[in-house]
A and B are shown apart, each in its own frame.
Chain A
Amino acid sequence: MSSSPKLHYKTVFDIPKEELFAPGHGLCAGCTAGTIVKLLLKVAGPNTVIVNATGCVEVSTTTFPYTSWRVPYIHVAFENAAAVASGIEAALKVLKAKGLIDPNKRVNVIALAGDGGTADIGFQALSGTLERGHKLMYVMYDNEAYMNTGIQRSGATPQYAWTTTTPVGKVLRGKIQFKKPVAEIVAAHRIPYVATANPAHFLDMMNKFRRGLEVEGPSFIHVLQPCTTGWRFDPRLGIKIARLATETAMWINWELDYGEFKVTVPVPKRKHVKHYIRLQGRFNHLTDRDIEEIQKMVDSEVERINKVVGKEIIGPVVE
């Protein structure tokens, strides 16, 4: 049980062709949430119940009377995806115990919520779910603000980022506080599986979704989701920016599998954070000196991670 299994998705040929996420949704052109959700369903397959918190994905994929979901789907509120998913998991257990559904049938229960719905208002429900130990996977798609309601800052908005509630002017220069380390806070609950992922590294992301669905107990996957509208970049750049996040180590792809920590996407040669930051309008106000300050913070985070891993899994800045 304790060692992680062989990777399932090795190349693009391993990705199922079946499309359980239908086009016709209203996500912005170039919204990487579409990529994430589409690939999530390819991993999960048809025996899946999706519980989606209010947010961009929910409003854009279930605009009444339309839905883009080809699997059972429920939306209840902004703050309670984890609680609703817990209830569904418990209900499935009862249905199996009563023989109303095949007790050997595996049904995936997936809670899907944004950073606001996870790090902020949904956190209490999430923590309860983890503590009770429900067998479900929670996927947090992190666009680093409340995008659906017009780009308000969240606990997961990074420092210095412009949002409509952390404006840039004489008094403020974007968000003051740090980004809340949600995946680490979740890891403190000592659940079987926690991982961070990024749609540019789609095979890594899909293997993590698969592992998350496989473990006996709660799992949590924190996925970076570049947002063209809120981060202020050309819609064609969403995946490139996601990749740069990892290449600069602004975002580190790791997993904690039954206590075993691993950086799943090593970065032997790191890029300077300016390559990530300068592509995004939300950081337009930053001076070169500000960016150097961010670089220093990333450097010390890399040092910390390398210490945990016990080797230089993320290398020095070379370009």
Chain B
Amino acid sequence: MTLQIKRLASWREVPVGGAITQPGNSVNRPTGDWRVFKPIINQDKCVRCYLCWVYCPEPAIKIIDRPYKTSSGREWKMTFEVDYDYCKGCGICVEECPVKAIDFVEEVK
């Protein structure tokens, strides 16, 4: 899934001042295993309001260019998805979703 650091760098390899030279490389340190509860977006109920995407502190909500047709025939151009590599299961999206489209279930590993 992601890169893992195999060993600690020696001091000779560390850039001067301890600079980190790869912007955003914390993506190589997934935090999905923090989760106790797991948010699951019900794509049929979701009204694509963006609020989970706005509030998620990780960020771990993705907007995907994938159309979706609900069971009642409504067509959406995109899909909101949880990125389980990083979602810590805080439940903010569950709490803030205005139509209660996000279920929160105990994580089974």
Interface residues in chain A, defined as those with a beta carbon under 8 Å from any beta carbon in chain B: 12-13, 15, 17, 19-27, 29-35, 38-39, 61-71, 199, 202, 228, 234-240
Contacts of A15 in B (CB 8 A): 50, 54
CA A199 – CA B93 in complex, angstroms?
14
Given contacts A26-B31, A39-B54, 19 further A-B contacts (CB under 8 A): A12-B54, A13-B50, A22-B24, A23-B26, A23-B58, A23-B60, A23-B85, A24-B28, A24-B86, A25-B31, A30-B57, A35-B57, A65-B5, A66-B25, A66-B28, A69-B23, A234-B91, A236-B95, A238-B57
CA A22 – CA B49 in complex, angstroms?
22
Closest CB-CB distance, B64 to chain A, in whole Å?
Answer: 11
Interface residues in chain B, defined as those with a beta carbon under 8 Å from any beta carbon in chain A: 5, 9, 14, 18, 20, 22-31, 34-35, 49-51, 54-60, 63, 83, 85-86, 88-92, 94-96
Beta-carbon contact of A32 and B57 below 8 Å? yes
Closest CB-CB distance, A271 to chain B, in whole Å?
Answer: 17
Beta-carbon contact of A38 and B59 below 8 Å? yes
Beta-carbon contact of B25 and A67 below 8 Å? yes
Closest CB-CB distance, B46 to chain A, in whole Å?
Answer: 14
Q: Which 8 A-B pairs have the closest CB atoms?
A: A34-B57, A236-B91, A30-B90, A24-B26, A22-B24, A29-B88, A23-B86, A12-B50
Residue from B28, B55, B86 having most chain A Cβ neighbours under 10 A: B55
Closest CB-CB distance, B26 to chain A, in whole Å?
Answer: 3
Beta-carbon contact of B26 and A25 below 8 Å? yes
CA A70 – CA B59 in complex, angstroms?
13
